[in-house]
Structure 1
Amino acid sequence: MVRFSNNVIGLLNFLTFLLSIPILVAGVWLSKQGATECERWLEKPVIALGVFLMLVSLAGLVGACCRVSWLLWLYLLVMFVLIVLLFAFTIFAFVVTNKGAGEVVSNRGYKEYRLGDYSNWLQKKVNNTKTWNRISSCLHSGKVCTEFQSKFLNDTVTQFYTEHLSALQSGCCKPAEECLFTYENSTSWTKPGNVTSYNNPDCDAWNNNQTVLCFNCQSCKAGFLQNFKTEWKRVAVVNIVFLVLLIIVYSIGCCAFRNNRRENWKGYSR
């Protein structure tokens, strides 16, 4: 029973070490084969995660199974910092994603999204040109509007207005309702000739070119943030479960550390 906690920590860290190998390989593959800005953007975080998991799991494995107390102490310190950071990140993410929601449009099956409805921190992030260029590159490579066009291309204007569009489709693939553009097809709209200026800058940003559309619009950024909020709700559940597991592993690790010190002390006493 004395060695039970050490064996559990050793087994968990061995499994984590095995997990770190494909993650590290995936990061190296992205750095060599990544064709899009989105893929290249992911390479460094993936490699860093793989290296981090590998080093931490080795420290825990050797510390628990070989009774190297200083390594196990280092492992527990990293785990404690990770728990604190993960808890702080969870709270922070809930705070910054609390604001913002789509606006219901009369006689439409979809909602419209405005950037000003979301938190200032998120607005600042998507308004950064470098950051938004990376995000829009991901949206392009994800074929958000390409699939949108093929799905709704044959819709009449009445049919299109009843479609239930996602936040990204509504914000990035069509102009805002207040622009009063004339519908031709799902991604082709005609600007009214009697309007010289718009209150909404998105109206001027719209372009029927399939590589442009409304990817530079404020509504597209708002649609992205709404999609981020929706995904965060799903991630939050996993995040909380992961946090609970980390706390359990940390507790077992503390038991293993006490076992190491007890057995080392017995060794010195002899």
Structure 2
Amino acid sequence: MANARELKERMASIQETKKITNAMYLISSSKMKQARKKLAETEPFFFAMQAEIARILRHVPDMHSHFFDGREKIPAQDRKVGCIVITADKGLAGAYNHNVLKMAEQLLEEPGQHKMFVLGEVGRQYFSRRESELDSEFRYTVQEPNLYRARVIAVKMVEMFETGQLDDIYIIYTRMLNALQAETQQIKLLPLHRIDFAPDKMAAMAGVYREAVMLYPSAHKVMDSIVPNYLIGIIYGCLVESYCSEQNSRMQAMQNATDSATDMLNELNITYNRARQADITQELTEVIGGANAQKRK
């Protein structure tokens, strides 16, 4: 058993660590609340964009936009696949980064010529050894996500899709389901699928009222203007959701660390009291023994 002095030093060290983990928990909590508020303020506009795309497709069902071109003639092994991967800038967030990187690895195992657009320092360091698959153009921090970054990323993805540099574009991010659970998800950005904008086809076939609408100068021009804004909204939402999930994961990790530190302090406190009691008992025994020796003399 360690002596009382060593136990006291160890308890002081754990107490300092506990203060740090508790502070990190409070900081992550504050950041997550701010990010959720920003997302709630901007979501209605992008939901309106999605509704307008569905509206155009409902009124012009025979429209053939290049954003919906699946390029089925290109075989799977020859398709150019791009993927935006959103990780954190640092660790101490539980399994958050591990789950994202694991899903990215699964995508890389599928047929095709892959190109990774990684956001977050953890992901960039992880894929740095695979220079042929890593595109270093978006060297953004994932802290404080904003619309400017989402717009730059969306414009670049649209450009690469239109010029044929990419045939399929995905994004891997983490969605916070609730305060205790987050889920890593992979969604397809381009090409778009009509089914995603027609959740109730049977209702449309049953004769749902189709309001009058005027598309100027044409349906194709309107669609070409709306889709990039729609993609900006999706990417921005993914950035914010990932940021919130990261902070939530860090909150849980720091809470667990704080609880573990409390448990360790309780155990060490018991051990420290036992050590002190043993030292006092030993000192009393020595004093009594000395007194008895003096009496015998």
Structure number with bigger Rg? 2
Greater share of strand = 2
Into which bin does the TM-score normalised by the smaller protein fall? 0.3 to 0.5
TM-score computed with the length of structure 1 as normaliser: 0.37
TM-score computed with the length of structure 2 as normaliser: 0.34
